[in-house]
Amino acid sequence: MNPSRGHVSGLPQWNRCAVMGVVNVTPDSFSDGGKWFDIEVAVKRGLDLVSEGADLIDVGGESTRPGASRVEEDEELRRVLPVVRSLASEGVLVSVDTMRATVAEQALEAGAVMVNDVSGGLADPRMVPAVASAGVPFVVMHWRGQSIDMNNRAVYEDVTTEVVTELRSSLDRAVAGGIAPERIIADPGLGFAKKAYHDLCLVAELARLREELGHPLLVAASRKRFLGRVLADPDGSPVPPARERDAATAAVTALAAREGAWAVRVHEVRASADAVRVVHAVESAAHAGTGASAGDPGAEGNGIAGERR
Ligand code: PMM
């Protein structure tokens, strides 16, 4: 195990980077085209992601794609609560992805075990007190304002330094507001008020982010625009749609796991779950030194003798 990955009080201690599967209950989510909008379909999707290796399921009812406007609170509640309730009743660890304290509170009552707020508590002044009194884990993401015009705020001289400074201030506000530091997860907010180059710089500096922020790190690169840019041909061909970015997402998962991220948030779980297991096996081998050991995944007798080289 990467010893500095950290542990979040109130959640299981995984011995590797955790995998959070995404279920967006929205008609306009940029990454899955609203495919999971129907409640029953969303619940089934969450259960499928768990069977593919997700440790947690993040349920959200409001799109935060660039340019998106807000949904009404009633509509967000209507989308999210039945999915949270149903997944929690099946024993799934559910995180609720919301910027609203009321949605967080009701989702926690419905069985969610943590709150993921892309605004890091900035959008709703009641969020930090609500999470503090519930005593649950809280994701604080780097955020410069609502999605409707966030691309205008993608201006940095030194993106990592500025993200650390701004995120630290949100983290400090959360702690000052009564949330236990050991329950707080930090997230650099890939794609939020960031251009592709900024996202790549942040991925390159995950270890620095983890050390300087001093909290377990959640990395959410899944299907984001910067991966589309990376995958586009240099001749200017169009970037591939979100759905064709899953292999690239798994590549970032491997990098994040190796840099000590606590968890990754992904739409397609299987490839990322495999990637974190490979990283874990590599780290275990490095830790144990060379030669066969009890945990040697390549040893004969582990059911893979005779496998392709
Ligand atoms: N990105 C999206 C939604 N929720 N939560 C966290 N903590 N970090 C993120 O980067 C993040 C998030 C973007 O929307 P999507 O679910 O449609 O990819």
- CB of 31 closer than 6 angstroms to any ligand 1 atom: yes
Give helix 196-204 / helix 159-176 axis angle, nearest 10°. Answer: 70
Q: What ligand 1 atom has the least distance to the C-alpha of 192?
A: 10
Q: Return the percentage of the chain with pLDDT > 90, whole number.
A: 75
- CB of 186 closer than 6 angstroms to any ligand 1 atom: no
Which band of pLDDT confidence, cut at 50, 70 and 90, is reported for residue 1? very low
Q: How far is the CA of 300 from the centre of ligand 1 (A)?
A: 41
Which band of pLDDT confidence, cut at 50, 70 and 90, is reported for residue 246? very high
Under 8 Å between Cβ of 24 and 63: yes
Q: Which domains does the chain have, with CATH numbers?
A: 18-279 (3.20.20.20)
189 Rama class: left (phi>0) / alpha (psi -120 to 50) / beta: left
Residues 6 or more apart in contact with residue 269 via CB below 8 angstroms: 19, 21, 49, 52, 53, 54
Residue whose CA lies nearest to ligand 1 atom number 14:
64
Burial class (CB in 10 A: 0-12, 13-18, 19+), 118: buried
Question: Which residue among 45, 194, 225, 265 is the active-site one?
Answer: 265
What mean pLDDT is reported for the chain? 90
Assess whether pLDDT exceeds 70 at residue 41. yes
Report the chain's C-alpha Rg in angstroms: 19
Question: Which residue among 100, 183, 224, 270 is the active-site one?
Answer: 224
Q: Average pLDDT, stretch 181-202? A: 97
* pTM of the shown model: 0.92
pLDDT of 38 reads 83
More confident residue, 2 or 117: 117
Q: How far apart are CA 309 and CA 297, in angstroms?
A: 13
Q: How far is the CA of 15 from the centre of ligand 1 (A)?
A: 24
Q: Which residues pair with 19 in a beta bridge?
A: 264
pLDDT tens digits along 233-243: 777 677 887 87
Residue whose CA lies nearest to ligand 1 atom number 13:
64
35 catalytic per annotation: no
List the structure tokens of 19: 């995998």
Q: How far is the CA of 279 from the centre of ligand 1 (A)?
A: 23
265 catalytic per annotation: yes
The full length of the chain comes to 309
pLDDT of 237 reads 75
Residue whose CA lies nearest to ligand 1 atom number 12:
118
List the structure tokens of 272: 């990322």
List the structure tokens of 103: 């949605």
Q: How far is the CA of 245 from the centre of ligand 1 (A)?
A: 15
Which band of pLDDT confidence, cut at 50, 70 and 90, is reported for residue 279? very high
pLDDT tens digits along 54-108: 999 999 999 887 777 889 999 999 999 999 999 999 999 999 999 999 999 999 9
Q: What ligand 1 atom has the least distance to the C-alpha of 224?
A: 18
Mutate to test the pocket of ligand 1, among 8, 49, 118, 213 (most ligand atoms within 8 A of CB): 118
- CB of 225 closer than 6 angstroms to any ligand 1 atom: no
Q: How far apart are CA 82 and CA 98, in angstroms?
A: 15
- CB of 141 closer than 6 angstroms to any ligand 1 atom: yes
CA 181 to chain CA centroid, nearest Å: 19
